[in-house]
Chain A
Amino acid sequence: MSMQTPLRIVTGLGASGEGTIDFWRQRLTALANVPLTLFLVWFIIRVAGQDQAGMMAVVSNPLVAGALVLSIISMTWHMRIGVQIVIEDYVHTEGRKIACLAANNLFAAGVAGLCIVSILKLSFGS
């Protein structure tokens, strides 16, 4: 049982104490995604169709590898929140909703993990 007064509980916190954090992170990652998207388009055009050695030559530059890793973090985070909002809007059955939310989180984490490890491996050399 909570020792907090009812006023303390409702003042600006909501049920979880962090009600607007996803809203804020969605905007923060959106802002970061603007330059990162332009960078990513440049990167894909720059190395599309190249073999491993050609890609490693570009990704070995720490600025490129760093921007790539940051792109993946910011984009997968933004994606996770955005897709969660769509799921919460359209999936109403409780069990199915929880399954979709879990799949969404695992997809975002999986993409982030695989991409970051691959970028680092290309950057440090195979």
Chain B
Amino acid sequence: MAQPSRPLSPHLSHYKPEVTMVMSIMHRITGIGLCLGIAFLTWWLVAAAWGDDALALVNMVMSSWLGKLILIGFTWSLFHHMLGGIRHFFWDFGLGFSRPVRFGFAWATLIGGLVLTALVWALVLLV
């Protein structure tokens, strides 16, 4: 894109990162990440419908450490994006715009996503 000659509004690099701003960016990043997650889900479901050979390959890849890393990332993206979305519902109803609530939402999204992911994986790996 050609650089316009008009003045441009200050962008991300000009602001001190705040947790609310970082959660806004992470909502998009996890959303894009979930596109990758659903591509893996598609691979798995198609392989399952295809037959045991195709399914065994998915199971082999997904039980490797790299596969587990992908699944943990998928789990975390799902929960983080879900909690971030619930936060948006409050805003859609005109609630939770005060400074303490916005920051509380942001931290709750971050910590809640990590806690839910840890809980699910503790359940998967230990039980």
Contact = CB atoms under 8 A, between A and B. Distances in A.
Interface of A: 27, 30-31, 33-34, 37, 40-41, 44-45, 48-49, 51-52, 55, 75-76, 79, 82-83, 86, 92-93, 107, 111, 114-115, 117-119, 121-122, 126
B31 A45 contact: no
Nearest to B54: A52
7 contacts: A34-B82, A37-B82, A52-B48, A82-B31, A93-B1, A118-B48, A119-B49
A115 B75 contact: no
Interface in B67-104: 75, 78-79, 82, 85-86, 88-89, 92
Q: Which of B31, B56, B86 counts the most chain A CB atoms within 10 A?
A: B31
Which size bracket describes the interface of B in this complex? 20 to 34
Interface in B23-77: 28, 31-32, 34-35, 38-39, 41-42, 45-46, 48-49, 51-52, 55-56, 59, 62-63, 75
Contact of B82 (A33, A45, A76, A118): A33
Nearest to B60: A49
B125 to A, nearest CB: 11
Which 5 pairs from chain A and chain B are nearest by CB?
A118-B49, A118-B45, A121-B49, A30-B85, A118-B46
